[in-house]
Amino acid sequence: MDQKEVLFDYILHLADNSMIIGQRNSEWCGHGPVLEQDIALTNIALDLIGEARSLYQYAAEIKGGNCTEDSLPFLRDIREFRNLLLVEQPNTDWAYTIVRQFFFDVFHYLVNKDILDNSNDLRLKEIAAKTIKESTYHLKWSSEWVIRLGDGTDISKLKMQTAVDDLWDFTGELFILSETEQKAMDLGFGADLKKAEQLWHEKVKEILNEACLTIPSTDFAQQGGKTGIHSEHFGYILAEMQFMQRAYPGLEW
Amino acid sequence: MEINLEEQFQAKIEQEIKIEPRDWMPEKYRKTLLRQISQHAHSEIVGMLPEGNWITRAPNLRRKVALLAKVQDEAGHGLYLYSAAETLGMSRDQMLEELHTGKAKYSSIFNYPTLTWADMGAIGWLVDGAAIMNQVPLCRTSYGPYARAMVRVCKEESFHQRQGYEIMLTLCKGSEAQKAMAQDALNRWWWPSIMMFGPNDDNSPNSAQSMKWKIKRFSNDELRQKFIDVTVSQTEILGLTIPDKDLKWNESRGHYDFGTINWEEFNNVVAGKGPCNKERLNARVKAWENGAWVRDAATAYAEKRANKKNNSTEAA
Q: Does B237 touch chain A (CB under 8 A)?
A: no
Q: Does A42 touch chain B (CB under 8 A)?
A: yes
Q: Does B28 touch chain A (CB under 8 A)?
A: no
Percent of chain B with pLDDT over 90: 94
CA separation for the pair A40, A46 (Å, rounded)? 10
pLDDT in tens, B255-271: 999 999 999 999 999 99
Quick check: helix, strand or coil at residue B257? strand
Distances (CA, A) of A167 to A85, A95, A161, A163, B241: 10, 11, 10, 6, 53
Largest CA distance in chain B: 83
- B residues 169-188 closer than 8 Å to A (CB): 170-171, 173-175, 177-178
- Chain A residues within 8 A of B283 when measuring between CB atoms: 30-31
| Residue B44 CB neighbour total at 10 angstroms | 24
CB distance A29–B71 less than 8 Å?
A: yes
Angle at CA of residue B188, ends B129 and B157, nearest 5°: 20
pLDDT in tens, B44-94: 999 999 999 999 999 999 999 999 999 999 999 999 999 999 999 999 999
pLDDT in tens, B243-302: 999 999 999 999 999 999 999 999 999 999 999 999 999 999 999 999 999 999 999 999
- Chain A residues within 8 A of B173 when measuring between CB atoms: 252
Q: List the domains of chain A with CATH numbers.
A: 3-247 (1.20.1260.10)
Per-chain mean pLDDT for chain A? 97
pLDDT for position B312:
82
CB distance A27–B78 less than 8 Å?
A: no
Q: Which residue of A has its CA nearest to B72?
A: A39
Distance from CA of B228 to the nearest CA of A (A): 27
State the DSSP H helix or E strand holding residue B249, giving kind and residue range, or none if neither: strand B248-250
Angle, in degrees to the nearest 10, between helices A233-241 and A3-26? 90
Segments in chain A forming alpha helices (H): 3-26, 35-63, 71-75, 85-88, 94-118, 122-150, 154-168, 179-186, 193-210, 233-241, 243-247
Q: Over 60: is that where the pLDDT of B1 sits?
A: no
Residue B176 burial by CB count (10 A; 0-12/13-18/19+): exposed, middle or buried?
exposed
The closest of B78, B245, B215, B88 to B156, measured between CA atoms, is: B78
CB distance B296–A248 less than 8 Å?
A: no
Angle, in degrees to the nearest 10, between helices A193-210 and A122-150? 20
Distance from CA of A195 to the nearest CA of B (A): 33
- A residues 94-113 closer than 8 Å to B (CB): 94
CA separation for the pair B241, B193 (Å, rounded)? 15
* Residue A31 near residue A38 (C-beta atoms within 8 A): yes
Q: Over 70: is that where the pLDDT of B316 sits?
A: no
Percent of chain A with pLDDT over 90: 99
